[in-house]
A and B are shown apart, each in its own frame.
Chain A
Amino acid sequence: MPETPPAPSPDPPQGPPGPPYADPSDPNATITPGDGGAMTLATSDAATLENGPLPGGTGSGKARSLWSDAWHDLRRNPVFLVSALVIVFLLLIAIWPGLVASGNPLSCDLARAQDGPAPGHPFGFDTQGCDVYTRTVHGARASITVGVCATAGAALLGSVLGGLAGFYGGWWDALLSRLADIFFGIPIILGGLVFLSVVPSGSVWPVVGFIVLLGWPQISRIARGAVVGAKQHDYVQAARALGAGDARLLLRHIAPNAVAPVIVVATIALGTYIALEATLSFVGVGLRPPTVSWGIDISNASIQIRNAPHMLLWPAGALSVTVLAFIMLGDAVRDALDPKLR
């Protein structure tokens, strides 16, 4: 998703089937933001905005049972199994690309520029005469590292900030939400040029850091909404009445019930982050050689679409399969975590 920064996706789920967090029309919903009595305006606003997740009814109070239920479901879900297998395979070639492609992705022979498939080179050659197959396999490492690490980083930062905003409400919330608004406004190319040219380095980490920087507000909104929804539940009130501290409340009672939407959004975002790297490379600030990545290859291939479509097809195809696998995985995990679908 190259153009729109990863951030702007809004609060509720963008994702696959059924938001785990019910919207207000759900009869089970316990939030009625309008009459949020003790809550500050900002917080009640949050509730309407985010429609926090409601691990439906009262059944799934304990984290452990939720997780074990989910795992039980997942093991029998073919969608989960297929996507998990694909991901395992992708991780394998990311770690040991030599397993399936013994060539050197950096050895290129310009004489064969843009040639089609040849014996030993099933995917043909790119503009520089490099083997597309080898580059596609070797590109997995950087692209998947960017996807997974950026997602992990954004999810962590976003959940912590969003969780705190949702839990404490009031000024904290207004501050963090408006901060997120400012970050939504940063044009991705400006951000990329500033951040990635100030930190010049050939490795993937600046790119990961940059995506985390622009990606956290999205997840933070989701997490905030989820926490706001979860914290009103009876069991949380009960725990508080029993004298549980803030930390304990957040970690033991609220987090397990608010984590599902974050997982979902994060898995979708993972795909968009990998694609985002392609956009950054297109602008010239993404990963740079000798790093091999799908993003670099896709951006190089996109202008050659008329001359050598095979250059685009394979890395873009690999990216699509990865995105598909992660979205399907997220879909399955989300379904498994949603008690209402059970």
Chain B
Amino acid sequence: MGRYVIRRLLQMIPVFIGSTFLIFLMVYALGDPIAALFGDKAPDPATAARIRQELYLDKPLWLQYAHYMGQILTGDFGVAFNGQEVTELMADAFPVTVRLTLVAILFEIVIGVTLGLLSGLRRGRSLDTGVLLLTLIVVSVPTFVSGYVLQYLIGVKWAAVSPSVSPEAPFGELLLPGVVLALTSLAYVTRLTRTSIAENSRADYLRTAVAKGLPRHRVITRHLLRNSLIPVVTFIGTDIGALMGGAIVTERIFNIHGVGFQLYQGILRQNSPTVVGFVTILVIVFLMANLLVDLLYAVLDPRIRYA
């Protein structure tokens, strides 16, 4: 077990280097960010040259990357164009996004698993069909559509919640954005749970449990659900990373100054320290989540062991 974890942790090093390089390369490929700093005016060549020099942009790509990595190793993630340290941006953005992700994940788990469980137990009945249609519609409606519509309906028309999120981003204000963010994943969780439940409800051990005379709720929670959660947990584990970095549209619609927002700004302004820094953290979150999920398997299913 320990060796396994160490091995997986070691594998993160090449992934870390690979992803930073890839993202660095991609931001580099976007082109020169300096001209845009001058707005609609032509950049003054001398000033532009100085700024490039300061940001190491006048060096070849590999040197830029080496310089950047050297900085990172000393804990310096560079500076955004507005003069803010990227680490400072991260300290502002990640707590907000973590809260948003928590809301989304909780929503996915509670609603998704419940709906999935119900429809799985009533396979083929009208409840099942209803949930199926609901989830399919959710899958096919893009987030920016559901975001705008829900924001307008709930935030303005019915004024049930605030349509945007204040800079402090308390949990209460993150409910609606969290739901919007979770919608697509919710559909997946629901269908995964349903599938898994439907499948396992025919398993031998379940028949045994029922035959032993265990109460129904105990059979469902301890035997059926626990054994059905593996694919769901896998999905949610990978979804954490995706939700944190992929909330660009949701964060924009609800004016949340989180990771997605910073990433979007960084991309539009072609500021590689911001983009690479944020993506790097996201990749690490992603890898950790995957590892955690793998370890969770052993909890959910005692037959699985790691050397």
Instruction: List the interface of chain A (C-beta within 8 A of B).
Output: 1-5, 7-19, 22-27, 32-35, 41, 44-45, 48-49, 51, 174, 178-179, 181-182, 184-191, 193-194, 197-198, 268, 271-272, 275, 278-279, 282, 298-299, 302-303, 305-306, 312, 316, 319-320, 322-324, 327, 340
Contact = CB atoms under 8 A, between A and B. Distances in A.
Given A4-B184, A25-B227, A187-B263, A298 B145 contact: yes
Given A25-B203, A25-B205, 6 more contacts: A23-B301, A25-B228, A51-B231, A186-B279, A194-B30, A306-B152
Nearest to B151: A305
Nearest to B243: A4
B220 interface: no
Contact of A13 (B144, B195, B264): B195
The 8 residue pairs across chains A and B that have the minimum distance between CB atoms: A34-B305, A8-B242, A12-B231, A185-B283, A323-B140, A25-B227, A2-B142, A10-B238
Contact of A305 (B22, B142, B149): B149
B194 interface: yes
A45 B234 CA distance: 13
A323 B139 contact: yes
Contacts of B191: 14-17
Give the dominant DSSP class at B's interface: helix
Contacts of A299: 144
Interface residues of B, number: 78
B74 to A, nearest CB: 23
B123 A17 contact: yes
Nearest to B31: A197
A23 B200 CA distance: 9
Q: Of residues A27, A186, A319, which shows the largest number of chain B Cβ atoms within 10 Å of its Cβ?
A: A186
Contact of B198 (A3, A18, A41, A179): A18
B185 interface: yes
Contact of B307 (A8, A12, A34): A34
A194 to B, nearest CB: 4
B213 to A, nearest CB: 21
